[in-house]
Amino acid sequence: MNELLLGMPGLEWVYLGAAVAAIGGGIGSAIGITSISNAAAGIVTEDADKFGKVLPLAAMPGTQGIYGLVTMVLVFVFTGVFAGEAADIDAAMGLRVFFACLPVAFVCLFSGIYQGIAAVGASGMVARRDEDSGKALIFPALVETYAVFSLVVSILMLLYAVG
């Protein structure tokens, strides 16, 4: 269909939504991982045996990028892009898909950054008392909860958008 909404056809809205989800999650993860990796490198420089204790903290902000990627893939699966059946997406459906991608895009952008910051704080626990590394994981994991919620919201919205 050639129907346009705000100057774009439905398929372009779908692509824009998928891209925004992947970009938001990816940027949040990259910034979050950078924050904790800088702190973790300092800890490992002082005590190489703590590498295994700080590695999970450094990896945690990476999940937001995964959630953005999962959302992008689900958009393409639900709309038929992978099957080559997406040409008939009308503009209203495309816009609904775009809006369905926004929870993951924005929440994962910010939660990835803040999870990295929380992991930096938690890494201080590991630096001083490596036996508390399990406790240290709890703090950045609390931030993760909201990224997971945003993924669930986006999936539910996608199901409605294409249903």
Q: Cβ contacts of residue 17 below 8 Å, gap of 6+?
A: 75, 94, 97, 98, 99, 100, 101, 102
CATH code, 69: 1.20.120.610
Provide the whole-model pTM.
Answer: 0.92
On whether residue 56 sits in a domain, the answer given is yes
On whether residue 3 sits in a domain, the answer given is no
* pLDDT single digits (tens) 7-62: 788 899 999 999 999 999 999 999 999 999 999 999 999 999 999 999 999 999 99
On whether residue 20 sits in a domain, the answer given is yes
- The range of the structural domain enclosing residue 49 comes to 8-162
* pLDDT single digits (tens) 86-118: 778 899 999 999 999 999 999 999 999 999 999
- State the total domains in the chain: 1
On whether residue 1 sits in a domain, the answer given is no
Q: What was the pLDDT predicted at 83?
A: 81
On whether residue 2 sits in a domain, the answer given is no
Q: What percent of the chain has pLDDT over 90?
A: 82
Intra-chain end-to-end CA distance of the chain, in Å: 18
Question: Over 80: is that where the pLDDT of 137 sits?
Answer: yes
Mean pLDDT over the full length of the chain: 93
On whether residue 41 sits in a domain, the answer given is yes
Q: What was the pLDDT predicted at 1?
A: 47
Identify the H or E element spanning 9. strand 8-9
